[in-house]
Amino acid sequence: MGPVELLHMSVFSQSFSPCGRFLAAGNNYGEIALFSLSAALSPDASEGSQKPILNFTAHDGPVFSLLSTDTHLLSAGNGEISAWSWAELIKKVSQLFSKCMTSLEIPEINAMIINPKDNSLIVGGGDNNIHIMDMETGIFKSVLKGHTDYIHCLCFKEREEEILSGGEDGAVRIWGHTEIPLSRFQTCSGMVGQECARPQFGKWISCLATDSDWMLCGGGPSLSLWHLRSMSPTSVFPLPGCQREAVFHQDLIMSVGEGPYVSHCLHGGTVKAQIPCTPSSLNTLALNLKNTEHRVMTVGGSSHQIDVFTNFSYRAFSLSF
Amino acid sequence: MSKCTWESESNHGRIHQSLEWLPQQLFHEVIRKRLLIDGDGAGDDRRINVLMKSFTKWCHSNFSPEEGFSQYQRMLTTLAQCEFSMGKTLLVYDMNLKEMENYEAIYADIERSITSAHEKIAECKKEIQRAKRIRKNRQEYDALARVIKQHPDRHETLKQLEALDKELQQLSHIKENVEDKLELRKKQFHVLLTTIQELQQTLENDEKMESDDTQESSMENGD
């Protein structure tokens, strides 16, 4: 990989392995790199341990979304979803487990989440619809239509088994289940309100996160915290750029987006801290909570380097492609 | 065989004299031990040797009583010096033992404080988690409270509703009254009009009857 390619690389997605010791990252060239966290975090780590242990080309186009199940790594790019076995990947064999070509032509898949209760994969992409696929059989069970423009992000509410989706059309839609699984899912859609709107950036929603009763959404409009039961925005965060990913963690809200920093915010609407990082703008943030020894946060964006934070308040080191 | 790293001329000479009949290894071992104990040759070992030599000399030689007595005094002094040195060494030994105990005690103490510090750290970590949860709950509460505050007060709205209700009642009351009056007037006008019509009818009837009467009488007159 030449220096020019490294310069133009963007990391779009990340996912931790089920054991929590490995990180998989996908970039805009269609490659997935596997990093060993235990090697990079050990006391005798060296330059070499910050390089990937395995780097393979997964898709023709960029890898927009990565998702880990208990045994497999699912990657999605332009219209196809591939599944890789984690056991094989850890042994440095990049053999394709199964490739599912979707029967519908989805131009790009931006977000994938899993519904653990009925073991289904929920996929949202460029054709304005949300597709639900059964993981056991690989058949697409149902389609949720309603968005008028492509879908950026998906989120799942465990308790009520509801799907939240945000898209380019500026709407956040909540899809709830009825008793009969294949019936039309009815929605209640909330348009992002006036306080958060920033017309200079547009109305697209690119990040969604939920914490049972609360929802974060941001993108073109400012990042805002909503109370779902009353459907009202409770706080608007004064972050200058467009946020691309946000998560709830203990009592903080962490979000990344335009700007070379990770913002820590409190629920009340104050920005507590902005931690600087190497990429000039960030696309993805991932927290490794599965493994207590390697409890880190990793962020990636428009750079070939992925920053690793062991203490969430400062950058420890960077992994690079 | 081990090498002696110290070289002490006087001691070496002395030991060499008394031990040259020993085999090589034992010789070196003994030298090592001797040098370790009293390497410089200026101390107790020499004193004891001197004492032994002078004692044997004193026993075997014929001294005059004064010389013998002075020799005897000198031996007693040397003996006293040896005893003094021995006493000192014993005290030092005791002191070392006590120091060892002291250090053991301090060591145990430090171990205990390490474990208690570990426990405290664990406690504090739990406290932090609790505090973070509490802070999150407080923040959520504040956020919701802010939203709620934006809406008007419930009592005020109720009062406004009551006032509006009362107004509505009054207005409907007035409307009823007006309608009743309208009905009444309608009825009255109706009565008036029917009476006028009847009167008109009666008058017409009367006229008709009058004209009939005159016709009849003129017909009768014409007969």
Edge-to-edge strand order for the sheet containing A187-191?
A151-157, A162-167, A171-175, A187-191
Of B66, B2, B18, B8, whose CA–CA distance to B39 is shortest? B8
* CA–CA separation, A134 and A126 (whole Å): 20
The total number of residues shown for chain A amounts to 321
Class of domain A11-236: mainly beta
Residue B203: half-sphere exposure toward Cβ, Cα within 13 Å:
6
Q: What is the pLDDT of residue A10?
A: 92
A99: left (phi over 0), alpha (psi -120 to 50) or beta: beta
Q: Does A250 touch chain B if contact means CB atoms closer than 8 Å? A: yes
Euclidean distance between CA atoms B73 and B51, whole angstroms? 12
Interval B38-54: pLDDT, tens:
655 567 777 888 888 88
* β A31-36/A22-27 pair status: antiparallel
Chain B contact probe: residue of A234, A248, A272, A311 with most B CBs at under 10 A:
A234
Residue A201: per-residue pLDDT = 85
- Nearest-CA distance B132 → chain A (Å): 5
Check CB contact under 8 Å for B139 and A266: yes
Q: Does B53 touch chain A (CB under 8 A)?
A: no
Contacts of A235 in chain B (CB under 8 A): 143, 146
Give B105-158 pLDDT, tens digit per residue: 999 999 999 999 999 999 999 999 999 999 989 988 988 888 888 888 888 889
A210 touches chain B (CB under 8 A): no
**Tens-digit pLDDT profile for residues B57-99:** 888 877 788 888 888 888 888 889 888 988 998 999 999 999 9
Of residues A250, A251, A268, nearest to B143 (C-beta): A268
Cα within 13 Å of Cα(B14), Cβ side: 16
- Chain B positions touching A251 (Cβ under 8 A) are 132-133, 135-136, 139
Q: In what order do the strands lie in the sheet with A120-125?
A: A109-115, A120-125, A130-134, A140-144
User: Which of B129, B139, B147 is nearest residue A267 as measured by Cβ atoms?
Assistant: B139
Of residues A227, A234, A267, nearest to B136 (C-beta): A267
A30-67 pLDDT, tens digit per residue, is 899 999 988 888 888 888 888 888 888 888 889 999 99
What's the gap in Å between the CA of A219 and the closest CA on chain B?
21
Beta-strand pair A80-85/A31-36: unpaired
- Please give the residue that has the higher pLDDT: either A7 or B11: A7
Average pLDDT over residues A105-134: 86
Give the whole-angstrom CA distance, residue A210 versus residue A164.
9
Tell me, yes or no, if A235 comes closer than 8 A to chain B by beta carbon.
Answer: yes
CA distance A270 to chain B (A): 10
Query: What is the widest separation between alpha-carbon atoms in chain B?
Result: 233
Average pLDDT value for residue range B171-192? 96
Residues of B in contact with A311 (CB under 8 A): none
For A146-156, what is each residue's pLDDT tens digit? 788 888 999 98
Q: Which residues pair with A245 in a beta bridge?
A: A256
**What single-letter amino acid sits at B61?**
S
Residue of A nearest to B144 (CA): A234
Spell out a b/e string for A186-217, using b for 16 or more CB atoms within 10 Å of the CB, else e.
ebeebebeeebbeeeeebbbbbbbbbeebbbb
Contact B144/A at CB under 8 A: yes
- B146 inside 8 A of chain A by CB: yes
Contacts of B132 in chain A (CB under 8 A): 250-251
- B143 CB within 8 Å of a chain A CB: yes
Q: What is the spatial order of strands in the sheet that A282-287 belongs to?
A: A282-287, A297-301, A305-309, A317-320
Buried b (16+ CB within 10 A) or exposed e, B116-140: eeeeeeeeeeeeeeeeeeebbeebb
**CA B136 – CA A289 distance, rounded (Å):** 19
Q: In this predicted model, what pLDDT tens digit does every residue of A172-181 receive, in sequence order?
A: 888 876 433 3
Separation between Cα atoms, residue A64 and residue A5, nearest integer Å: 18
How many C-beta atoms lie closer than 10 Å to residue A39's C-beta? 17
Separation between Cα atoms, residue A187 and residue A174, nearest integer Å: 5
Nearest to A119, CA basis, from A40, A179, A181? A181
In whole angstroms, give the CA distance from residue A247 to residue A265. Answer: 10
- Give the DSSP per-residue string, A231-294: TEEEEE---SS-EEEEEEETTEEEEEEBBSEEEEEETTS-EEEEEE-SSSBEEEEEE--S-STT
Percentage of the residues of chain B whose pLDDT score is greater than 90: 44
Q: Is the CB of B143 less than 8 angstroms away from the CB of A232? A: no
Q: Which of B135, B136, B138, B151 to mutate to test the interface with A (most CBs of A within 10 A)?
A: B136
pLDDT, position A80: 81
Q: Is the pLDDT of residue B15 over 90?
A: no
Q: Tell me how many residue pairs between chain A and chain B have CB atoms under 8 A apart.
A: 36
How far is the alpha carbon of A267 from chain B, nearest alpha carbon, in Å? 5
- Pick the most confident of A296-305, B26-35, B164-173: B164-173
CB of B149 within 8 Å of any CB in chain A? no
Rounded to whole angstroms, the Cα distance separating A179 from B83 reads 103
Chain B nearest-CA distance from A271, in A, is 13
Residue A33 is which amino acid?
A
Whole-model pTM above 0.80? no
- Quick one: DSSP state of residue A160? T
| Chain A closest-CA separation from residue B138 CA (Å) | 9
- Check residues B159 and A144 and name the one with the higher pLDDT: B159
CA distance to partner chain B, nearest, from residue A251 (Å): 5
Nearest in space to A12 (alpha carbons), one of A112, A115, A116: A112
